[in-house]
Chains A and B, each alone.
Chain A
Amino acid sequence: MSLTNETVGQKLIERFGEAILGDEQQYDFRIWTVKREKIYEIIQYLYHEPGLEYQFLTTLCGIHYPDNAPDKTMCIMYQLHNLPKNHRIRLKVFFSENDKVMPSITAIFRTSNWMEREAYDFYGVVFKGHPNLKKILNMEEQTVFPLLKYFPLEDPTRDDKDDTMFGRKMFNA
């Protein structure tokens, strides 16, 4: 059976049923939105199941959607790749930014070690089960999580430069 988006979707829904909340096609990737409670098992299933075998984690990153519904403002995106059959898929998990906890997948993919540390550093998402969750790119003394949309890029109290002529507003609007 060849590996296509439809066969993967079918197998996922057969096995996990209502944990698969939906899917969409963006350019050349099929994205499945899944529930946070089952993400570890889903990735394990995708890794080990003969016929699927997505054994390469291309990347993992956090995304902040402040305009979404309150229980879907924070997102973690996983991108998996089946190298022999050259098929790539994307998984997204949405959760509330007041409850930024996720299971760590370092036991399946060693490469997610530093990727999850980067997501913690930038967004404050705590990965349960991570062997060494501390900041990786910023200084340890830093207490804010910079890539959240509320954190301004430039100093908002400056009044000596005015970027409105260039279409830029002061805050991240």
Chain B
Amino acid sequence: MSNKAITEPIKEEKEYSTLNLGPTHPATHGIFQNVLKMDGEIIMDSDATIGYIHRAFEKIAERRPYYQITTLTDRLNYCSSPINNMGWEMTVEKLLGVEIPKRVDYMRVIVMEMARLADHIVCNTVIGVDTGALSGFVYMFQWREKIYEFYEEICGARLTTNIGRIGGFERDFTDKTWKQIDEFLEEFPRILKEFEGLLMRNRIFMDRTKGAGPIAADLALNYGFTGPNLRAAGVDYDVRVMNPYSSYQDFDFIVPVGTKGDTYDRFLVRQEEMWQSMSIIKQAVQKLQSMPPGPHHADVPEFYLPPKQDVYNNMEALIYHFKVIMGELEVPKGEVYHSVEGGNGELGFYLISDGGRSPFRLHFRRPCFIYYQGYADMIKGSMLSDAILTLSSMNVIAGELDA
């Protein structure tokens, strides 16, 4: 018994019912509307409406200095906001041609992989919730709190983190941070294994998710899918491997790939990526402990705030402090595109600078926006409950959908 899609053409004389999977629906994790044309319980067609949380980031960014845009990028994919912050900072560093020390790169890798863990915990537990298994969700979220406490120790905030500055980090990792990382790496594998034991080979879960919302690899590529959704369909495109940034080439990790692109494959790909993220964090911690202590930021005084004691005593530091805060920066003219592997795929930043204090044009290549177009095709011919499961397994996050 599998969830085979029933593909029948839409007949003119038949009467179809319309169901409004409305904008505020507890099962759609975010605010987006789908008007479904249904034949009994089978979905024949769907029409999506998005934009309920459009906050005009691309317009606002044209009037903000570069360091204030980091707060806008937080709110794109808010389940893994450090990845967005780091991606933006790396874009500006690429524009300026700043050389980042290895130590900062490895610290960034730790923060980004923790964020990827947080994002995948949300997605996988929520697939469980939509099939009715709420225990996994509650159990794993207890451990997601530890990741939030880790962010709080580094930057002071839990969700919209604004981690990092152009050139590195605002402060070094404290002893408490290292202790938190060590405790997390020790305890979380056991918890993840328990979660796997609940769902991965569970007969009911496999029956629900196998064959729900499949997509073929070439159709997924044509729709511009990236990230775990594309990898579940069989294409191993991972930005960390293809165009490495932040010293990812120094790390040893596998990119898991599925076969059919259905919900079960997406669940398995994210699950394996969580194990790989933990392995990367472990390698990064080992590398950092074997390196001599060093600075937590690059030497770029025109963009990185000087330490406060120097501002009070040193004339140069005072001038730099004033210029950085007021946004009187000298940025080269040019256009740059940088992409990072976000929780959902290739998150790209296209920045055109005209030499002024704010970007001339900033365009976010948001993976959720691009692959949500494929949703209509993925649910044609399936039942309503499979459509809900497909939606939650695609991990569509409203902040990144609308920006």
> Among the listed stretches A2-10, A13-21, A53-61, which one makes contact with chain B, having 4 or more residues with CB under 8 Å of it?
A53-61
Q: Decide: B59 and A147 in contact? CB cutoff 8 A.
A: yes
Q: Decide: A83 and B235 in contact? CB cutoff 8 A.
A: yes
Residues of B near A113 (CB, < 8 A) are 373
Q: Decide: B51 and A136 in contact? CB cutoff 8 A.
A: yes
Size category of the binding interface on chain A: 35 or more
A118–B361 Cα gap in the complex (Å)?
A: 15
Q: Decide: A83 and B237 in contact? CB cutoff 8 A.
A: yes
Interface residues of B in 309-334 (CB under 8 A from A): 326-328, 334
Closest to B61 in A: A153
Residues of A near B56 (CB, < 8 A) are 146
| Known interface pairs A55-B221, A109-B224; A167-B328 also in contact (CB < 8 Å) | yes
Q: Decide: B373 and A110 in contact? CB cutoff 8 A.
A: yes
Q: Decide: A86 and B242 in contact? CB cutoff 8 A.
A: yes
Q: Decide: A153 and B63 in contact? CB cutoff 8 A.
A: yes
- B-contact 0/1 string along A135-166, CB 8 Å cutoff: 11111000000110001010000000000001
Residues of B near A27 (CB, < 8 A) are 94-95, 334-337
Residues of A near B339 (CB, < 8 A) are 58
Give the most central of A63, A64, A135: most B CB within 10 Å.
A63
Q: Decide: A122 and B337 in contact? CB cutoff 8 A.
A: no
A167–B350 Cα gap in the complex (Å)?
A: 25
| Known interface pairs A122-B58, A172-B62; A137-B222 also in contact (CB < 8 Å) | no
A136–B366 Cα gap in the complex (Å)?
A: 14
- B-contact 0/1 string along A107-118, CB 8 Å cutoff: 001110111001
Closest to B243 in A: A86
A59–B58 Cα gap in the complex (Å)?
A: 15
Residues of A near B58 (CB, < 8 A) are 122, 147
A60–B370 Cα gap in the complex (Å)?
A: 11
Please report whether the interface of chain B is mostly helix, strand, loop or mixed according to DSSP. Answer: mixed
Q: B223 an interface residue at 8 Å Cβ cutoff?
A: yes
| Known interface pairs A27-B335, A111-B370, A122-B58; A167-B63 also in contact (CB < 8 Å) | no
A88–B387 Cα gap in the complex (Å)?
A: 35
Interface residues of B in 362-379 (CB under 8 A from A): 363, 365, 369-370, 372-374
Please pick, from A58, A109, A136, A139, the residue contacting B346 in the complex, using a CB distance under 8 A: A58
Residues of A near B402 (CB, < 8 A) are 137
Residues of B near A166 (CB, < 8 A) are 326-327
| Known interface pairs A26-B335, A61-B350, A146-B59; A138-B51 also in contact (CB < 8 Å) | yes
| Known interface pairs A26-B335, A168-B63; A114-B328 also in contact (CB < 8 Å) | no
A52–B352 Cα gap in the complex (Å)?
A: 27
Residues of A near B223 (CB, < 8 A) are 110-111
Q: B357 an interface residue at 8 Å Cβ cutoff?
A: yes
Q: Decide: A63 and B51 in contact? CB cutoff 8 A.
A: no
- B-contact 0/1 string along A76-117, CB 8 Å cutoff: 010100010010001000000000000000000111011100
Q: Decide: A79 and B221 in contact? CB cutoff 8 A.
A: no
Residues of A near B374 (CB, < 8 A) are 110
Q: Decide: B348 and A58 in contact? CB cutoff 8 A.
A: yes
Q: B308 an interface residue at 8 Å Cβ cutoff?
A: no
| Known interface pairs A86-B242, A109-B224, A137-B51; A79-B337 also in contact (CB < 8 Å) | yes
Q: Decide: B50 and A115 in contact? CB cutoff 8 A.
A: no
22 A–B pairs (Cβ distance < 8 Å), ordered by A: A26-B336, A27-B95, A27-B337, A55-B222, A61-B361, A63-B361, A86-B242, A109-B224, A110-B224, A110-B373, A111-B224, A111-B373, A113-B373, A114-B373, A122-B58, A135-B51, A136-B51, A137-B51, A138-B54, A146-B59, A153-B59, A153-B60
The 9 closest A-B pairs by CB, nearest first: A111-B224, A137-B51, A59-B365, A137-B54, A61-B363, A27-B336, A26-B335, A110-B222, A114-B373
4 additional contacts, CB 8 Å, given A55-B222, A109-B222, A118-B369? A83-B235, A110-B373, A122-B58, A136-B51
